[in-house]
Amino acid sequence: MKNYDEKGFFKPCSLNLNLSMKLTAILLLVSIFSVEASVYSQKNKVTLDLERVQTRRVLETIESLTDLKFFYNNKNIDSDRLVSVKVIERPVSEVLDILFKGTSVYYILRKKQVVLNLRNIEKPASKDSGDPLLITDQEVVQQSVSGTVTDENDAPLPGANILEKGTTNGVQSDFDGNFSLTVGDDAVLVISYIGFKTVEIQVDGQSNISVSMEEDAAGLDEIVVVGYGRVKKADLTGSVGSVDAADLQEVKVSNVQQALLGKVAGVQIKPNDGTPGAPPQIIIRGVGSLSAGSDPLYVVDGFPVPDLQTLNPDDIQSMDILKDASATAIYGSRGSNGVVLITTKRGQEGKARINLDISSGLQEVSQIPHYMNAFEQATYAYWGSYFRTLDLGGDVSGPPEGWQYRVPQTALDILDGKPGTADVNWIEEVLRTAPVSSYQLSASGGSEDIKYAVSGEYLDQEGIIIGSSFSRYSLRANLDAQLTEKLALKVNLNPSYTERLGENPEGTGYGTSILGNATSINPYSPVYDENGDYFVINGLPEVGNFPNPVALANEVTDKTSRTNFFGNIDLSYSITDDLIFNVMAGANLSSSRNLRFVPDIPSLIRATPFGSDTTEQVVNWISEFTLNYDKNFGEHHITGLAGFTTQKNKFESNFLESDKFPNNLIPYLNSAGGILTNGGAGISEWSLISYLGRVNYDFANKYYMTASIRTDGSSRFGSENRYGVFPSAAVAWRISEENFLQDFDAIDNLKLRLSYGETGNNNIGNYASLATIDNVNYPLANSPVGGFVLNRIGNPNLTWEKQGSFNIGLDVSAFNSRVNFTLDGFRTINKSLLLNVNIPAITGFTSSLQNIGKIENKGWELGINTVNFRGDFRWTTDFNISSYQNEVLKLGPEGDPIIGNRHITTIGEPLGAFYGLVQDGIFETQTEYDQGPIYNPGGSNRTRVGDVKFRDFSGPDGVPDGAIDSYDRVILGSPYPDFYYGMTNRFNYNSLSLSISLQGVQGNKVGSLARDVGGRNELRVNQLALYNDFWRSEEEPGDGNAQRPNDEPTGGIREFSTQKLDNGSYLRINNISLGYELPTSVVERLKMRSIRLYVNASNPFTFTKFEGFNPDVSRGTDPLAPGEDNNNYPLAKTWTLGLNLGF
């Protein structure tokens, strides 16, 4: 039994009678019903033994024991009053007398209905008949309606919304799709569920209603979160992509962003770092900045946050990605890279729903590059000494022991097959099969006035590189309270703790990079010596000097711990039914610490131990005040938003270092005897103040208009340009609502969207506009004396990077929503980009940061959703594909290009295009060599026969000159794909569910720093296996691409060229999930709500020609040097088994 606020019990009488006849009829009917009901109540006897329970509990118990139904006004009857009732076989009327003794409550019995009300204190109470004159003709009779909500296959739909039309009276269906609701006798029920068409049912006296809902793949009634508000998907004027909790359930990921992989058109997710707990890179509709970053803005429950590392993916209800400027402009100077809005799960009215999810799995590397084994490397070393001796003018006719450049003895022993030699795959030595486990416990529920959702998580993820791991402890408590009829409160609390262990694997050798050294060391060096100690790879003729990577992984301590607290409070006051005032205040407190210790052991090639201790603390707070208006005027609908917000961030850090440890016993700085060799501290702040507004208008659900504006003032910018204004406008036309399309039954929805907006990027550093000084030490009388020096010239005109964005979109739903697609085309211009510009040296500086660059991104994106089969077997498909072209339009005063070691940024080309020499095979014969062109003619490292051949494009005079030099460097390719895509197929049959997701990119290049080392044809560095078929002679030219080995590189082999470029295209099956829910009959016998078993495979298959660990890679976020592979932490494929229990 449910009870809700209502005005009364009877509707106005519509009989055509005069007043006396009306009163007579009323009295007669009431008397008849009362007499009949009184007799009925005497026949119904109950036995109750209830101690200190709510009144409503007593009434519910009576209902369960009899055929009686209770109706009452919740405003008048205190149903929460605690009472005790102990009766044995007593009539219901006597029980009610006991229950309401000493109160003003009286009851009226009508057949099987019991109506409770407050008596007029001037009139005596009547326990059986009451006073019929107190029942006015304005009051409405309520009734209880129960039922079940199912889909077209009779499968229950838990969490469906059942609402009495025109009121706020509603409930949600339980796990079995059941609901119960008290409504007026003329009520209309509105039933809605995400992904299904909304249903309206006239109650018309029915007490039990079964609702079968039809799927709506278009999801037009789905609620989409936008900046500072929510709208129906059907009413969207901007470009927004959404992922809900059901999509998140399909994947088992440790990081929130990974759940978006391949799910949303226009959103490129690059899992470029497989470090446990590390987030992927997100690029929304291209890169539009030279130096201010490309990361989107993340907003969790209304609070902008710097990252999502501490957020539990299972706490998320939905993720909405704002892509075009009409959607992102409401975030002003932080919206140019897109906005990711995250809404966490909240409690729903009803009994507590407890869920326990336990999963455990194994991880292994998804792909390993192939390097030469011991015999292949020894062969390579033999020929490298051979050609090095020839280049030195030596004789190679005798045995290799007599050559001028000797073959390492270890290589000769391997070639001779002598026992005792090693063949070690160093990559496999530092990798492992690693476990991962997750434990999730959540509870939600509540009453009409207070709802809660609490959860706890423990994630324990070992890394596939030995010594690395990530763990997270997370708690969340979301509370919703209706404090008064007009005042509501929301509270979100999320404390968390994370811990990451492991030495940095990235690099190309000779340093502390685990993978860099593992891919560089020759395979004939063992991991351990004959004493079981780490083998020392230092001073050996057959290999370079490298730290032992296994020792690096096991013995170096690198631990980062982070404690984070996020919380916000939202108060909402309904001034009128149409006008709501919101106040939100929140804070994010974060503290992290890194402890690092490198011991002094021979295998690490260190003279003394080294230790450091670094701490960081961030305090970020926000306050927002918004006023929301929502009003219907006939067919006109207007919503409005006005707001004011402030945010402030303070960052503090310090570090201490020492290399004066006496030994390796205590890895903390206090054991260094108080001797510190380095240290420092820093503090920085930024603040933001903003005014914002938005108006939405629609007419007859056909014509839509949205306009927004935001003004931001930031402490980061110059005094002359501290404020920026960011407007947007959008229109939409639902053509399918026009009369001329009403006869086209195949079309369910057809909408055209058009928008333009301006946003900004304020991610430039906190003091970039100010002149700064730095401290230095000057020698004075042979002693250092502290002083100060100017460090940077100020620029009071420094301002926002600005983006203007145009978007046109088409939304189509057809064939009863079985085929749906969204097509968008966009063009964005990013201008006033920040760039260091050369300035006259007379100023005392060489450059100044100025707003001077311009970049264009234009492209299209398509999302398709289909329902392929319905019925007992169900199959749906989601597919998306996107493409964009990036072009630099303006650079500096003179348009000079920005040239790096491997990249160039120049007008008319993509940002950070690869730049170098073009390989044109090798010089296979002397005849070819004589024709040239030659690298560094006359130099000791000049080209010889068997060396790589490059194309001669130009020279000092602008024409080819027969020599290979810097004039021959050209653009080699783009780090950005021609297109990227994702697809998910979902299959359901009874209690079985299967989901298969794939994603990929096509057409981009990857600059391989790893290939730069593994392809230098050096003898002391392990070479990639793809160079096994190298040039030996004119008679044995090899594959035509691998040049002759030589320990002294010649012919420009170390120059960046197409030989160092790899193919970045790939297709990856990124997720397979198979689940089985036990039958309801079994679950109920176990006194549980649900039991689900599932297995999950993450990244099980990758199809690519890429030679490294992970094709979707980039060693950093520098937009001027994208797409580089530097032996980044490999991506893991994971196999998981899980159990989900519902109580």
Domains recognised in the chain with CATH numbers:
19-135 (3.55.50.30), 145-212 (2.60.40.1120)
Of 609, 596, 592, 593, nearest to 558 by C-alpha is: 596
Task: Report how far apart the first and last C-alpha atoms of the chain are (Å, whole number).
Answer: 22
Provide CB contacts within 8 A for 118, sequence distance 6+: 76, 77, 104, 105, 106
Q: How confident is the model at residue 126 (pLDDT cuts 50, 70, 90)?
A: very low
Residue 18 has pLDDT above 70, yes or no: no
Q: How confident is the model at residue 541 (pLDDT cuts 50, 70, 90)?
A: confident
The predicted-structure confidence for 827-849, as pLDDT tens digits, reads as follows 999 998 888 777 777 777 777 78
Predicted pLDDT at 1116: 73
Burial of 1085 (0-12, 13-18, 19+ CB in 10 A): exposed
**Of residues 406 and 155, which shows the higher confidence score?**
406
Residue 273, helix vs strand vs coil: coil
Predicted pLDDT at 580: 95
Residue 326 has pLDDT above 90, yes or no: no
On the question of a cis peptide bond just before residue 933, with omega within 30 degrees of 0, the verdict is yes
Q: Which residue has the tokens 């002391």?
A: 1020
Q: How far apart are CA 400 and CA 385, in angstroms?
A: 8
Rg of the chain's alpha carbons, rounded to an integer?
Answer: 36
Name the percent of the chain lying above pLDDT 90: 51
Residue 733 has pLDDT above 60, yes or no: yes
Distances (CA, A) of 1079 to 10, 897, 992, 1141: 44, 66, 11, 13
The predicted-structure confidence for 900-959, as pLDDT tens digits, reads as follows 889 999 999 999 999 999 999 999 999 999 998 999 998 989 999 999 999 999 999 989
Residue 567 has pLDDT above 70, yes or no: yes
Mean pLDDT of 528-534: 93
Predicted pLDDT at 218: 52
Mean pLDDT of 751-774: 87
Mean pLDDT of 853-881: 93
Mean pLDDT of 248-260: 84
Predicted pLDDT at 1014: 56
- Complete DSSP assignment for 454-479: EEEEEEEEE-SBTT-EEEEEEEEEEE
Q: How confident is the model at residue 999 (pLDDT cuts 50, 70, 90)?
A: very high
Predicted pLDDT at 13: 34
Predicted pLDDT at 788: 81
Residue 123 has pLDDT above 50, yes or no: no
Mean pLDDT of 531-540: 90
Mean pLDDT of 485-494: 94
92-99 and 55-65 are packed helices; what angle lies between their axes, rounded to 10 degrees? 180
Predicted pLDDT at 20: 39
Mean pLDDT of 312-337: 90
Residue 23, helix vs strand vs coil: helix
Tally the residues of the chain. 1143
Q: How far apart are CA 1122 and CA 1120, in angstroms?
A: 6
Q: How confident is the model at residue 194 (pLDDT cuts 50, 70, 90)?
A: low
Q: What are phi and psi of 301, to 5 degrees?
A: 50, 40
Least confident interval from 27-31, 100-104, 239-243, 315-319: 27-31
The one-letter code for the residue type at 760 is G
Mean pLDDT of 500-523: 86
Predicted pLDDT at 766: 84
Averaged pLDDT of the chain: 86
Predicted pLDDT at 916: 95
Q: Which residue has the tokens 């036309």?
A: 733
Q: How far apart are CA 499 and CA 564, in angstroms?
A: 11
Least confident interval from 475-489, 696-710, 731-745: 731-745
Predicted pLDDT at 1072: 96
Q: Within 10 Å of residue 183's Cβ, how many Cβ atoms?
A: 24
**Of residues 485 and 153, which shows the higher confidence score?**
485
Q: How far apart are CA 9 and CA 204, in angstroms?
A: 15
Residue 39 has pLDDT above 50, yes or no: no
Residue 155 has pLDDT above 70, yes or no: yes
Predicted pLDDT at 277: 86
Q: Within 10 Å of residue 85's Cβ, how many Cβ atoms?
A: 19
Q: Within 10 Å of residue 622's Cβ, how many Cβ atoms?
A: 20
Predicted pLDDT at 498: 96
The predicted-structure confidence for 787-805, as pLDDT tens digits, reads as follows 888 777 888 888 888 899 9
Predicted pLDDT at 823: 96
The angle subtended at Cα 741 by Cα 738 and Cα 745, nearest 5°, is: 130
Alpha-helical (H) ranges within 100-163 are none
Q: How confident is the model at residue 226 (pLDDT cuts 50, 70, 90)?
A: confident
Residue 461 has pLDDT above 90, yes or no: yes
